[in-house]
Each structure stands twice: as C-alpha cells, then as structure tokens.
Structure 1
C-alpha cells in the first residue's frame, strides 16, 4: 500500500501528510489493491474493513478526499466532476478509463525519479540525483514565536525565501539535505536555480558521477527554462558529466520528497522560537533527518547573462516536454527531449548515420570553450 500510495500521492510542504488524488475514494484504492494482489500474488482475499484498518494504523499520513490544500491538477478536477455527473454506466466507464490513463501517467513519471534516486544510492559512480524546489516563504519569515502576544503579532517580519535541495547518493541516510536562505535580495528565476545546481555540485565534488539527474518544479519560473537547459548542455560540453537529465513532473503533481522535508521544517519552526537568522537556521538544521545544511545566500553568479550570447537561437515550445537529455554526439553536446517518459526521444537524425543527432543548444565558439576564471576556480 505504501509503495503504491507514494507513486500517486503528493507530499504536502506545510503538513506531514501525503495527499492522494482527489478523484479517488478508499473503495477505489481497495479495489485496485485487490486487482494488483491477484495479478502478482495470485490471491485477492482482503476485506475492505481490514484494508481500512491497515491504513488507519500504519499509514495515517496518507489522506484522500474531495479537497486539496493546494491548487488541484486541472485533469483531476475535470475527471472528478465527470464521474459525479455521469448519467449512464457507459459514460462512467469511459471516464474511469480516462482516470486510469491519467493516474498511470503520473505514476510512471514519479517512478522515473524514484528509480533514479534508488539507483544513485546503489551505483554512486554512475549516477547522481538531485531535486530542487522552493519552500512557502511565509513559513520562514522571522522573528517567529511559538505564541504571539498582542503587542507583537502585528509587528513586521523579515521576509526569508528558502530553496531546498535533496541530493541522493551513497551516504548513510541515502541523501543529503540542503536549504539556502535569502532575504529576497535576488530574483528567484532560472539563474537562482542554476546557482543552486552549481553549489550542490561544488559541495559534493568528491561524489560527482558519470551521469546527473536533476528534478525541478514544474512552475512558471522553471518553464522559462532555456537558460537552465543551456547550463545542462554546458556541463556536458565541459565533460563534467557524460549525460545530464532534467525532468519535470506533471503540473499539479509536483510535490515530492523535498516537500516532505519542507513539512518537517514547517512543523519544527512552529514549535521553536526564532528571534534571529542564526536561530532560524539552527532550528531548520535540527528539523530533519539527515540534518539540513543551512546556508545564507550572499551572492549569485550571473550565469544567465554570461550564457545568453552563446545560446543557439531562440527557444520555442520547450515548456511542453517533461524530459530533457544531454549527451555528446560527434564531440558536441546535444539535447534530446520528449513529452513523457513513455515516449520516444524526439529524433533529429543525421543523414549519414542512424543516430540521434539532437539539437545544439549552445554555439561552438572559442570564447565559450575557454572556461571563465571563476568556473575553473570552482570546479
């Protein structure tokens, strides 16, 4: 049950719960479990009461219902409404088929990330996996008091934005946790994302592998990702990695294990006073296992401005695919993309050989191939 629920559920960043799709009822999940047991274990003798009893005792963090704490996936909302308004059994069965396709797609996309992070733990020399996301900024405003007084509750607070990362590799806990804080003195755009990727790599130089898998949030900011894709191409062009993958989950289903870390941080901050930034960082550090490495962002490298002159033309339609892969073909870093992980990589074939040529994201020029001084200093 836990394995299946984690594949279809969203970790909530403000509570220690996992929200299952709103169009599911417990009866639906029970029926699905019986079917899976029959297919895999050749028996399906589990009563609905026993199923609910296991759920209540061992999996209380998984919740289902018609409401969600965050914006609902548009497809999920339409499916739920279509089920409730279906006038005939035929209409209902058609909607249920659509629901099954949608759920399978979400589960498959999550499985790609889950399989990658498990492989990174087993084969750290071959793969390094990281996931990056931003936390709800209101949870990290300070000073924060366990109980507000009348004379302090309306006083201004210092806004603090937190960007969290989980790096999956072969360490005792299977992952490293990092949070970087800034007081809104930098734009939270693709340049912030690139800098977080860079800092994660710099802090883990000894753990770099042949391949890199980066999981990013599918929000509007990351959809403007032409610079992020160019940076991924650069990592391959400079031979830091043989292959770089950048993946995005379907909109409305993007809450993952990094959001579970945010929920633990949010809970801890509600239970401890944070009068100063060092106290806030200490409380964040102690809130999660493994302990979170907490840092203040004091500067950013302007990678965006540096890379833009070398980008090979304007991007178009790059907000639709969810999977991007970068690897070298004939000595040049090339990008392949696909809408979903079950699709074939978009083919840009060379005329002389049957290989995927892919797209050149960066122009090949002497200035680009000469790494800037700060890059050599870092790596």
Structure 2
C-alpha cells in the first residue's frame, strides 16, 4: 500500500536523480520524492508488523503538504558554493533529512504555541485530536492529540537521523557533517527555549529578541544548512566564513519578516492565524520596539492586550495601530532591508561559483520580500 500524496503535491514527482547540478526547483521536487518514498517505506513496514501506520502517514501528510524547503535548497547551495560536483543523490538525501528534522521542530512548536493551523491545514496535534475525538471528551481528545503529536515529532527527529545515515555519504563526509548537525540542533533548541521562556512577558529588550532570532532562525534556517552542504563538499574555512557573512543577516531578516507576517499578514497567504503571536504574547523585535517607544498609557494598553488568550480582532487591531503609530513596523521593515543588503554585499566578495551566487541572491530576495 503506497502513501497517498496530499492535495497540491504533484503526483508525478521525479524518480531519477538530476543529471546536472540541481537548481532550487529541482531540489524541492527531489526532496519531496525522497521524503515520500522514505515515509511510504515506513508505512509499509508498519502495516507488515501490525504497528500504527497512522504515524508515518500523518507525518507524510504534514511534510508533503507544503513548505518552502528552504533548508534543503540552502544545503545543496552550500555544497555547490564549495565546488561540489558529480552525482548529487547523496547530497539530496542529506538535504531531505533536514526537512524531516524541521518537521519535528514545527510539530513541537505548534503544540507549545497552541497553534490551530500550519500551512493552511490543521496543525498535527489538532488533526489528531479531531481524528480520535469520537468516544472521548473534548479535553481527553485534546490531550491525546498533543501527546500523539509529540511522539510523531519524535519519530521525525529519529527518522531524520536514519535518512542522513542512509544517504550514501562517505565516512569522511559523515565525520564532517555530524558535528555541524549536533551544533545546529543544540542552537535551535536553545533558541526555542529562549522563545518559550520570554513568551507571555514581552519587554522593550530588543537585544534579547535579536538573540532569540539568531539561534532560533538565523543559524538554524540559513547558516547551518549552508555549512552542512559545504562540509559535504570538503569546504575550507574561507568558504564557511563567507557563507556565515551571507547567512546571519539574511536569517535575521527572514525572521523579522516572519514576525511582521504573524501580525499583519493575510492568513489565506501565510496559512496561519494572525492572532497567535499576539494572544501568546510573543517577545519579538516588533513588540519590543513598540514598548520602547510607546507612551505610558500606550504601554499599559499593550501589556493589557498582549498575551490575552481571549484577544479578538478588535483588540488585535488596536495593537496593530500602536505597532504602526510608534514606528515599530516601519523600523522592522528598515531592519529587514539593511540585513538584506548586507547579505547581498557578502555575496559580492564571496568565493562562490557564479551560478551559486545567483541562487543565493534569488533565495535572499524570496526570503525577505514575501507574503507567506
């Protein structure tokens, strides 16, 4: 029995590795194929052993339902930046393993944030709660959904390791990549911890918010995927340094854009509600700037509304007005532009092939000027 691909995923995904150095669209298509095949194999094994095939199928539905595949694209770009050439099959599988790890992070993040949707679909814990609701009270179904989603996230974490070790990498490549992977995992979990512990008590501490961004997003989303790809090609220190010069400002810009979209974006485009961050009282740069610049009565109002789980669109509109009138929104837009330009300047002096520079320029543009 094969895993049915979710709506929106091309039925005819590529079956053969690309003959040439893959462009981002090709990377995304092949990563989807690798993930579909891997999770289909897990579902067949579960059926044969009378284990719950719901686990790999639910994970497959989530992983294949959308996403930018930014980390796999950057992993392959890092390989190309360091002069990677030849059959990219093993590199693509290693890149796909990053997407499975990302699934783990997103599933757990949605539980912590209490998010109802992700990528325009019910979040995994909400979908599982609804699926297992018959015969259970609402509270019992919600608890089961969250608990089962935690386990499915754990499966994604374990299977990301399995996919990497089964990618066909050489012993030397694994020795180069594993320390970077350990570092990436540690950094993003520390970033998530900082995000979690600051949620519900936003302050005007912009630097603290930027520190969270650096670990939760800039390093995890951009720098480490590029480094992992470069390590697969045997990169030297100058390549790693050049990649970091590009990655860190871009990663910060990416998250700053995310913070704006979380408050001002259109849910139909982002696939997520725009009340979650405000109801949760997320400590973002956007909020910190507003609190720093607001008058006393405005700060009182912000502290009253932010973190209120019952916040409605009327209250959210008042917050948005203050984020605009204090200049916080415009400042974040300028911060995005400054970091975007810094990333581009880093590419101007980077020792990368021209085609890789073009890919990274396009990626930088897509990451900072977006509506989802």
TM-score calculated relative to the size of structure 2 = 0.26
* Greater strand fraction, Structure 1 or Structure 2: 1
* Greater C-alpha Rg: 1
* Greater helix fraction, Structure 1 or Structure 2: 2
TM-score calculated relative to the size of structure 1 = 0.25
